[in-house]
């Protein structure tokens, strides 16, 4: 159950593309999630989803020798908890968007993103996953709905 007295929290991490930093991103996202009363299976889902999304971003940065950091934004409210992972991978089309709803993957605009199965996995862990790609890179936003506070 979310804490109604939890402080407003927003965390921004800019991490070097090193697999060791994936653990840091998972630890920070879990800590912020706990501030919002997330526990049990939902906390495990947050940990796994953040690890998958950050690991993907780090590998893409390393494969393309990109010096830019991987950016992770973690935010929450009384209703929702979200983690956004932004990578600066090269994209060969102007703009692509992928919406993941459970096991269903929908691609809009100019064709599909590489390896949509990775994003389908995230869709099984988060309530909503939105993936956007354009010339500046790819943003993966994962959201979890929080249960209403108990009376």
Going by C-alpha positions, the residue among 4, 45, 19 that lies closest to residue 129 is 45
Q: Is the pTM of this model over 0.85?
A: no
The residues, any chain, with a CB within 8 Å of residue 43's CB and separated by 6 or more, are 30, 33, 34
**All domains of the chain in start order, with CATH:** 9-145 (3.30.565.10)
Check if the beta carbon of residue 52 is closer than 8 Å to that of residue 111. Answer: no
Query: In which band, very low, low, confident or very high, does the pLDDT at 41 lie, cut at 50, 70 and 90?
Result: very high
Single out the residue of 122, 117, 123, 63 nearest to residue 87, CA to CA.
63
Both ends of the chain: CA-CA distance in Å? 11
pLDDT digits (tens, 9 = 90+) for 57-84: 998 899 888 999 999 999 988 889 999 9
Instruction: List strands edge to edge, sheet with 104-109.
Output: 9-15, 70-76, 80-87, 137-145, 128-134, 95-101, 104-109
- Contact in structure between 95 and 138 (CB atoms under 8 Å): no
């Amino acid at each position: 159950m979310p804490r109604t007295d939890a402080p407003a929290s927003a965390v921004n991490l800019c991490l070097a593309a090193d697999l060791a930093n994936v653990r840091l991103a998972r630890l920070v996202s879990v800590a912020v999630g706990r501030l919002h009363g997330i526990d049990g299976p939902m906390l495990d889902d947050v940990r796994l989803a953040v690890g998958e999304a950050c690991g993907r971003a780090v590998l893409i940065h390393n494969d393309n020798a990109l010096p830019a950091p991987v950016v992770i934004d973690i935010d929450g409210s009384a209703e929702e908890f979200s983690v956004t992972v932004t990578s600066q991978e090269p994209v060969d089309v102007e703009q692509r968007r992928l919406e993941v709803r459970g096991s269903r993957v929908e691609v809009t605009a100019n064709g599909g993103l590489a390896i949509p199965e990775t994003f389908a996995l995230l869709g099984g862990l988060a309530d909503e996953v939105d993936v956007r790609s354009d010339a500046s890179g790819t943003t993966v936003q994962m959201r979890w709905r929080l249960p209403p506070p108990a009376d």
